[in-house]
C-alpha cells in the first residue's frame, strides 16, 4: 500500500512515518513533500498513491489549495494543530482529520476506516474542501445564489432575516418576508456565516441579530424570539443555548 506525506515540519513527518510503519508494516512511503507548490508539481507528474496524509498549514499556504489545482483520486487524512473552531470545518464537511500531536490509536482508527472503505475519494470532494477552506480563512458568505422559477437571483446576507430548516429543506426568509430555498444544511450554514451576525437558536432556526425585535422569557428557562418577519411557529432558544445566546447579544 503506497502513501505520501505532505508536511513542512521534518520531525513531524518522520514521526508520522514511524508510527505508520509500526502499525502497518505493509504500507510504503513513496514521497514526503513540504509545500503546496511541491505537492502540486509531484502529483502532476507521478502516479497517485493509495492514501495521503496532508498537514493543513504548510509554509506556502493551506494544503486545501492543492485541490484547486489537482484532481485527486485518493483518500486524504488531514493532520492539524488548528483550534476547535477550525476543527468544525472538518466535521461539518465530513473531512477525516487527526489532531496534533497525533495519537497512535486515532491514527490506527483513521487508517482502518480507509481500509474498510469508509474513507473514499468521493467523501472528500472539491465542494467539501472549498467550504472548509472558506471557514478556515474566515471568508464568510456575503451572498447566496437562489433559483426563482427559471431565473437565478443573488440574495445578499444583509437581506436575510432567518434561515429555516423545514421538511428536509432549508430556506432563507428575507426581511421583506420572501422565502428562497438554499442547498445547504443549517450545520453548513452555521459554519459559513459570520458568527457576530448569525446565531443558531435551535435545530430549526438561525437568526440574524438585527431581525430580533423582542425577547420574551419562556417556560423551562428558555427564551422566545419575535422577529421582523412572520414565522408560523414560535422561535424558542433552547435551554442549553440560552447563556451562549445572551453572550452573543452582548458581544
Q: How far apart are CA 110 and CA 104, in angstroms?
A: 10
pLDDT at 141: 84
Domain map (residue ranges) of the chain: 2-136, 143-250
Give me the helices (H) in the chain, please: 10-23, 36-45, 84-92, 104-115, 126-136, 186-192, 242-250
| Cβ(8)–Cβ(58) below 8 Å | yes
Please report, for residues 1, 53, 106, 238, the alpha-carbon distance to residue 101 in angstroms, rounded to integers and kept in the order given.
24, 14, 11, 35
pLDDT at 63: 85
Report the topology of domain 143-250: OB fold (Dihydrolipoamide Acetyltransferase, E2P) (2.40.50)
Q: How far is the CA of 209 from the CAs of 60, 85, 199, in angstroms?
A: 37, 21, 8
The CATH number, out of the four listed (3.40.50.1100, 3.40.50.300, 3.40.50.720, 3.40.50.2300), of the domain defined by the range 2-136: 3.40.50.2300
Find where cell 481500509 sits: 115
Distance, CA of 132 to CA of 188 (rounded, Å):
10
Residue 81 has which C-alpha cell? 494543530
b/e burial code for range 165-175 (CB count within 10 A of at least 16 → b): beeeebbbbbb
- Is the preceding omega at residue 101 within 30 degrees of 0, hence cis? yes
Q: What predicted TM-score, i.e. pTM, was given to this entire model?
A: 0.54
Mean pLDDT by 10 residues, the chain (251 residues): 95 96 96 96 95 90 83 84 60 68 92 73 53 63 91 95 94 96 90 88 95 94 95 92 92 71
Amino acid at each position: 500500500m503506497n502513501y505520501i506525506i505532505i508536511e513542512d515540519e521534518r520531525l513531524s513527518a518522520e514521526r508520522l512515518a514511524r508510527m505508520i510503519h509500526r502499525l502497518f508494516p505493509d504500507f510504503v512511503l513513496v514521497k514526503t513533500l513540504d509545500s503546496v507548490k511541491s505537492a502540486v508539481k509531484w502529483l502532476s507528474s507521478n502516479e497517485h498513491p493509495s492514501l495521503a496524509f496532508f498537514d493543513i498549514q504548510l509554509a506556502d499556504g493551506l494544503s486545501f489549495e492543492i485541490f484547486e489545482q489537482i484532481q485527486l483520486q485518493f483518500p486524504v487524512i488531514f493532520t492539524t494543530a488548528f483550534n476547535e473552531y477550525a476543527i468544525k470545518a472538518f466535521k461539518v464537511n465530513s473531512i477525516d482529520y487527526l489532531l496534533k500531536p497525533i495519537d497512535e490509536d486515532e491514527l490506527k482508527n483513521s487508517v482502518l476506516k480507509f481500509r474498510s472503505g469508509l474513507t473514499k475519494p468521493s467523501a472528500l470532494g472539491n465542494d467539501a474542501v472549498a467550504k472548509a477552506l472558506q471557514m478556515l480563512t474566515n471568508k464568510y458568505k456575503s451572498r447566496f445564489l437562489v433559483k426563482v422559477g427559471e431565473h437565478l437571483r443573488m440574495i445578499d446576507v444583509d437581506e436575510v432575516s432567518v434561515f429555516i430548516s423545514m421538511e428536509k429543506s432549508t430556506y432563507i426568509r428575507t426581511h421583506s418576508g420572501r422565502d428562497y430555498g438554499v442547498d445547504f444544511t443549517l450545520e453548513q450554514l452555521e459554519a459559513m456565516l459570520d458568527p457576530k451576525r448569525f446565531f443558531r437558536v435551535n435545530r430549526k432556526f438561525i437568526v440574524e441579530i438585527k431581525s430580533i425585535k423582542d425577547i420574551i422569557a419562556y417556560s423551562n428557562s428558555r427564551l422566545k424570539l419575535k422577529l421582523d418577519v412572520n414565522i408560523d411557529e414560535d422561535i424558542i432558544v433552547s435551554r442549553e443555548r440560552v447563556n451562549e445566546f445572551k453572550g452573543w447579544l452582548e458581544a
